[in-house]
Amino acid sequence: MMRQYELVDRVRRYNPHVNEELLNKAYVYAMRAHGTQKRASGDPYFTHPLEVAAILTDLRLDDATIVAAVLHDTIEDTSATREDIERLFGSEIANLVDGLTKIAKLDLVSKRAEQAENFRKLLLAVVDDVRVLLVKLADRLHNMRTLQFVSPEKSGRIAQETLDIYAPLAGRMGMQGLREELEDLSFRTLMPEAHAMIVTRLGDLRRRSGENINRIVTELSQELSARGIDAEVTRREKAPYSIWRKMERKSIAFEQLSDIYGFRIVVKTIDECYRAIGVVHTKWPTVPGRFKDYISTPKQNDYRSIHTTVIGPGRQRVELQVRTGDMDEVADFGIAAHALYKDGKAGDLDALTRESRSYKWLRHTIELLSEGDSPEEFLEHTRLEMFHDQVFCFTPKGRLIALPRGATPIDFAYAVHTDVGNTAVGAKVNGRIAPLLSELQNGDEVEVVVAAGQVPPPAWESLVVTGKARAAIRRASRDAIRTQYAELGRQIVTRAFVRAGKTYEDDKIRAVLSRLARTSVEDVLAAVGRGEMFSGDVVKAVHPEFVPVRSAGAVAEKGEKGWFGLKKAASLVFKIPSAKEDASDAIPIRGLGSDLPVRFAPIGGAVPGDRIVGILTPGEGITIYPIQSPALMTFDDHPERWLDVRWDIDEHDTRQYPARIQVSAINEPGTLGLIATVIGESGSNIDHVEFITRSSDVRDVVLDIEVRDLKHLSSIISQLKSKSVVSKVERING
């Protein structure tokens, strides 16, 4: 086991100002905390955090990270608490260890590959200090290195998780060397035979072509040097897992791989890049179609280099990259930086590009550190904010749902399944009832409460943040409205059949769909409900001998006394010849927001207690008019648009309905205030006020108000009339 002084020495090698006391304190604390705990190998558990710390000293990390590594399993696996750590080591280290504990609690195992990407994002979203990820990766690396002591079942699971989540994460952070080691260890565990095969063949290839490879490096160096180009030539062997993946992807044999070895020429200037390429192309024949100039046309990620393939010494294909030292640095760091935002597409980077990328990003970070005034501050502010516009939540079964920040349980419900969203009535977040419109946080476990037969309120559409939820809500409302129109149409058509002395049946409509140019019974009914098709025409389609009512007069003759003098209309509406003449035969109206697409007369409205008629307007549904409305005259010639309707209002209903009154009052200060007070005190709202005339003595005021019903309206009118300044009050209907 590594001794205290050894750990301190390792740090001191790159950091002369190491806080020896702090490191020793952590060493002793973690050793005591883990006590007699053992690893699967039988070693004392404490050897594990020490090895993790050692890996991080290879990356030359700061004291806080090394101490966090030593302590990383204490909160998770011992009786130590966050408070203990904070008290003894301060809040910075406590935050790091706490971050690691949080990650340990995430169940990162997922059988679905698509989830792996989300889990990586989750990690990045949960972690707000890059050092936590570095410790986590070192932790995983040590666990992978000692995987042989773990049961085969468990080791397979850990290896898969490493391959799915941690290796790509290392790659994303620009740590390609760490990525390759993690991949290789996973590959060896998951597919020992394939791994052994590739390692063996690589060994063979190395033995066979080792001399050749050295010869290529030497010949390239000499040739360039002879032309006065100061170049550094390096070579690289593709990693076993990359080889296997390429064989799989392209379904080719090991022998068919031509890019197991790659070479890189690094020179001083751009001019030398092109000269070096000239030298290489003069000396060896090129492979057609393999020349790519990413210097004149850099890749999107700012990668710059010239690629070429030649038939080199020993008739071997040689893949070459030529770039300047600056490009080498910029490419390495730039791509690492890009990799932080999007996982570097393996296809974009060949083996050579990845060469020595391993710790470049980290090295660069440390370079910045050594230059900066406050290294700790720099690391603290290297926060991973790229996924902070997202939240990651879980279903009770552990499925991860990624949502944009600001998402609500409704968004979550729709992300799970459209049906879940449509029938959502409540949510439990982390086991507690939460409003459907609360904002979800990272790591929330969300359980959606559903109830069958629900329709999402259209208002949700503007409250959700995901497009999927919005579209589904819109669709559901549209379906619901269509259903309402169809229901209205059914009532209208049924009555039309009754009027014609027939009985309505869906099958009758179904038989004449083509005649009506519709595809379903619901279509026909919805069309009638929307006023696009007249009920009489539907009856006629079924019973061609039937003559639809086209003239109001014909029916009006049967009429009795009209209402408010509108004899024709009234008789038509209220004296429909039918088997039952009671009120239940009329279409019940519940007001705005009811199940039927209903609106009220645009001028003067209609209030419960009014005798009402419905006028069907194509595409808009029914408009409710009080029977005294002069506007009804305009519909006299369209009896087919008249509907028998009645109020269906619960007496406890507190909804208000629009009405218009005109008040004539003496023109003196305070009159208008008095009118407003009377209306307000009677529990009515004033929507709109307009002055019709204004003489020196009298003013006429038109008020649009909201009342519960006719009784409420009458009471307001009589109260206004009782005021001495008021000369006249009239209800107005358009």
- Closer to Mn ion by Cβ: residue 186 or 408: 186
Ranked by CB distance to Mn ion, the top (closest) residue is: 139
CA distance 222 to 239: 28
- Closer to Mn ion by Cβ: residue 133 or 632: 133
| Interacting span for Mn ion (CB under 5 A) from 19-27, 70-78, 218-226, 680-688 | 70-78
Q: What is the nearest approach in angstroms of Mn ion to the Cβ of residue 144?
A: 11
**Contact call for residues 496 and 541 (beta carbons, < 8 A):** no
**Contact call for residues 624 and 617 (beta carbons, < 8 A):** no
Catalytic annotation, pick one of 9, 20, 76, 461: 76
Could you confirm whether 439 is annotated as catalytic? no
| Interacting span for Mn ion (CB under 5 A) from 66-74, 80-88, 427-435, 661-669 | 66-74
Site string for Mn ion, 408-447 (x = CB under 5 A): ----------------------------------------
| Interacting span for Mn ion (CB under 5 A) from 23-31, 71-79, 327-335, 372-380 | 71-79
| Interacting span for Mn ion (CB under 5 A) from 73-81, 85-93, 124-132, 534-542 | 73-81
Q: What is the nearest approach in angstroms of Mn ion to the Cβ of residue 72?
A: 6
**Contact call for residues 402 and 124 (beta carbons, < 8 A):** no
Q: What is the nearest approach in angstroms of Mn ion to the Cβ of residue 49?
A: 6
Q: What is the nearest approach in angstroms of Mn ion to the Cβ of residue 185?
A: 16
Torsion sign (Cα): 503, 506, 510, 516: positive
Identify the DSSP state of 566: B
Two structure tokens written together for 545: 């001998």
- Closer to Mn ion by Cβ: residue 73 or 704: 73
CA distance 8 to 21: 9
CA distance 91 to 531: 70
- Closer to Mn ion by Cβ: residue 73 or 447: 73
Could you confirm whether 76 is annotated as catalytic? yes
Site string for Mn ion, 330-369 (x = CB under 5 A): ----------------------------------------
- Cα separation values, 532 from 89, 124, 496, 507, 514, Å: 77, 56, 15, 21, 16
- Closer to Mn ion by Cβ: residue 30 or 410: 30
CA–centroid distance for 353 within its chain: 34
| Interacting span for Mn ion (CB under 5 A) from 131-139, 433-441, 504-512, 648-656 | 131-139
- Closer to Mn ion by Cβ: residue 123 or 434: 123
**Contact call for residues 445 and 431 (beta carbons, < 8 A):** yes
- Closer to Mn ion by Cβ: residue 166 or 241: 166
Torsion sign (Cα): 555, 561, 567, 570: negative
- Closer to Mn ion by Cβ: residue 73 or 183: 73
Q: What is the nearest approach in angstroms of Mn ion to the Cβ of residue 305?
A: 39
CA distance 141 to 58: 13
Identify the DSSP state of 165: I
Spatial CA neighbour of 265 closest among 277, 251, 253: 277
- Closer to Mn ion by Cβ: residue 139 or 706: 139
CB-hemisphere CA count at 13 Å for 560?
4
Q: Does residue 523 touch Mn ion according to CB under 5 A?
A: no
CA distance 274 to 270: 7
What is the β-pairing status of strands 642-647 and 587-589? parallel
Q: What is the nearest approach in angstroms of Mn ion to the Cβ of residue 366?
A: 23
Identify the DSSP state of 111: S
Q: Does residue 73 touch Mn ion according to CB under 5 A?
A: yes
User: Coil, helix or strand for 267?
Assistant: strand
How does 5-27 read in b/e, with b if 16+ C-beta sit within 10 Å?
eebbebbeeebeebbbebbeebb
CA distance 213 to 318: 9
Catalytic annotation, pick one of 9, 20, 77, 117: 77
Q: What is the nearest approach in angstroms of Mn ion to the Cβ of residue 29?
A: 16
CA distance 16 to 176: 28
User: Coil, helix or strand for 318?
Assistant: strand
Q: What is the nearest approach in angstroms of Mn ion to the Cβ of residue 179?
A: 19
Continuous segment of H or E residues that includes residue 26: helix 20-34
Q: What is the nearest approach in angstroms of Mn ion to the Cβ of residue 139?
A: 4
CA distance 488 to 509: 16
Q: What is the nearest approach in angstroms of Mn ion to the Cβ of residue 143?
A: 7
| Interacting span for Mn ion (CB under 5 A) from 72-80, 209-217, 331-339, 676-684 | 72-80
- Closer to Mn ion by Cβ: residue 97 or 643: 97
- Partners of residue 432 on adjacent β-strands: 429
What part of residues 604-663 is at the interface with Mn ion (CB under 5 A)? none
Site string for Mn ion, 132-151 (x = CB under 5 A): -------x------------
Q: How many residues bind Mn ion (CB under 5 A)?
A: 2
| Interacting span for Mn ion (CB under 5 A) from 67-75, 115-123, 372-380, 432-440 | 67-75
The set of catalytic residues is: 76-77
- The footprint of Mn ion (CB under 5 A) covers 73, 139
